[in-house]
Amino acid sequence: MTTWIFSFIDQFGYWAVALMIAIENVFPPIPSEVILSFSGFMTHKTQMTIFGLVIASTIGAVIGALILYWIGTLLNEERLERLLDHQLFRKLGFKKDDVKRSIAWFDRHGIKAIFFGRCIPVIRSLISIPAGIAQVNMPKFIILTTLGSLIWNTILIGLGSYMGSKWHVIVTIFEEYSLIVVILLAISIIYFAYVWRKKRIKNS
């Protein structure tokens, strides 16, 4: 996989970076850490610049985020309520009102989640879906996504350029960071699911 990524970037430059980052936003298993840090290193081997790479990767990130946002809009409030009204979800303790509460929460806190979420592995891609479900204002979504992606891309490309031929060290560091984030996220989900379920059982 990485060999193909390197060859693609070397051959198509900015276009390759923009396309792969767009895909990475939709299919997270393609690592942005590898794409961006290697791209930074390539500023020493090609005519590509850090500025050009930041712009190309940010455009790709916004395109990918908009695709997931659109998918989120397909999961509108009415459809989600019908889903939670299914017997299986009712047995698990879900209620139709949970949809309205979740959307209301995202209306209050979603703006910060969109911006800061762009700098958190896994979440940086998935945050676009609840934004679409909550019908976040499109211009606002694009601006926050652009700013958040700009920070993430600049850091990785800049570090990749700074490290030069040792760019892979950046990948190792961010892979460990990503693993920690995933573990903490999993623990948080399990904890809140337990607390939520316990409250539902108590109330019923």
Q: Computed from CA positions of residues 73, 106, 138, 25, in that sequence, does the dihedral angle turn out positive or negative?
A: negative
- pLDDT digit of tens for each residue in the chain (204 aa)? 567 777 888 888 899 999 999 988 887 666 788 888 889 888 988 889 999 999 999 999 999 999 988 988 887 666 666 655 656 555 545 555 555 665 666 666 667 778 777 777 767 777 887 888 878 888 988 998 999 999 999 999 999 988 887 887 877 776 766 666 666 656 655 655 555 555 555 555
d(CA 15, CA 154): 17
d(CA 45, CA 130): 40
Distance (Å) of CA 91 to CA 44, 86, 121, 123, 191: 59, 9, 33, 28, 19
> Which pTM does this prediction carry?
0.73
